Each structure stands twice: as structure tokens, then as C-alpha cells.
Amino acid sequence: MRILWLALIAAGCGVLSPEEQLLADFFEASRLYDTTVIARMSDVAFNPREDGVVQDFDVEQVEQAPDGQSERVTVRADVRRPDGALSARTLVVTLRRQDGRWFIASLRDL
């Protein structure tokens, strides 16, 4: 009974997928425009002065390449633009395996 209870609690905690965790870390570093941290996880930046700040996001789709070394992730993001307005954007993020972990290779609007 105790194991079932712990499993239910763990399921309710909202454990993030590896893609979601990487993107959450990336958008957090981007919010501060911490280029040192961003460079450890990405070839691209999401500059808050130009691109805005991601307030919230949901991963809508993950497409894995046949070789298993890259993924295309479609993200729906609420972005606070530099002028202060909030806009919904769909972003396509390409991830690739690098040194045994996921790395952001590209990011573009859909």
C-alpha cells in the first residue's frame, strides 16, 4: 500500500521529460541572458531584448530522427515581448545528442 501511495505522489509531482527539462533550463538562462550557461546547452540564444521572455511553454510534439541522435520538438510558448505584450508562439527546436546529452542545435518560429 505504501509503494502505491508513493507512486501516486511521484506521478502528481510532474516529472519533466529530458526535452522539457532542457528547454526549461534554456528559457530560464535566456530570461537572464546568461550567455555562459546558454553556451553549455545551445548553439542559439533567445535574447530577451529582441525575442522576449518565455513565460510558460508546453511541448506539443517530439519527433525523433531514425538515427536516434536528433529530435525535432514543437513547443507552444507564451512569450512576453520586449514591448510588454504577451503573445503565443509556436517554436520548433532541433535537439541533437552531444557528449551523451541533449543539446539545442536550432530554434525557429513555425
- 39-51 pLDDT, tens digit per residue, is 999 999 999 999 9
10 is a domain residue: no
Mean pLDDT value across residues 44-59: 96
The model's pTM: 0.84
Closest CA to 88 of 106, 71, 109, 105: 109
User: d(Cα 48, Cα 100) in Å, to the nearest integer?
Assistant: 29
Q: How many domains does the structure of the chain reveal?
A: 1
For residue 57, what are the domain limits? 18-109
26 is a domain residue: yes
CA-atom Rg of the chain in angstroms: 16
Sign of the CA dihedral running 14, 57, 75, 19: negative
Q: What is the Cα 95 distance to its own chain's centre?
A: 10
94 is a domain residue: yes
44 is a domain residue: yes
CATH number of the CATH domain containing 105: 3.10.450.50
4 is a domain residue: no
90 is a domain residue: yes
1 is a domain residue: no
- 68-81 pLDDT, tens digit per residue, is 899 999 999 999 99
Q: How many CB atoms lie within 10 A of CB 41?
A: 17
